């Protein structure tokens, strides 16, 4: 279930944030990330994010992306409760790819 009142942005707003060098956290699993992710997105799987929150900078917005928007909404809610200015990306990486924007594949970073 998606948390109520979780701030969400659309793919066009994410594209603008990407152009501005925004922090993008991909909360999918490594196999999903390797198959294709938003350029510049950093992989921190949903199950690891609570233990890795100290890696994130609190002084700027954080954009959270998953496959379709469900996991990102949950983790955005978590990050906002932890004091971050976080936004879930509606339609996720799937929507990004469907919009014709490029996805990057390759190896997942070592955790």
Neighbours of 48 (CB within 10 A): 13
Active site residue 66: yes
The four Cα atoms 23, 104, 93, 42 give a dihedral, to 10 degrees, of: -30
Check 24, 66, 67, 79 and give the catalytic one.
Answer: 66
Q: Residue 96, SS3? A: helix
Q: Which of the residues are catalytic?
A: 66
């Amino acid at each position: 279930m998606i948390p109520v009142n979780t701030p969400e942005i659309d793919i066009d707003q994410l594209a603008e944030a990407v152009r501005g060098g925004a922090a993008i956290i991909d909360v999918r699993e490594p196999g999903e990330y390797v198959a294709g992710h938003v350029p510049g997105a950093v992989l921190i799987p949903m199950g690891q994010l609570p233990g890795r929150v100290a890696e994130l900078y609190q002084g700027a917005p954080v954009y959270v992306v998953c496959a379709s928007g469900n996991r990102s909404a949950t983790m955005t809610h978590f990050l906002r409760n932890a004091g971050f200015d976080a936004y879930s990306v509606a339609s996720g990486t799937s929507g990004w790819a469907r919009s014709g924007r490029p996805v990057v594949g390759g190896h997942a970073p070592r955790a």
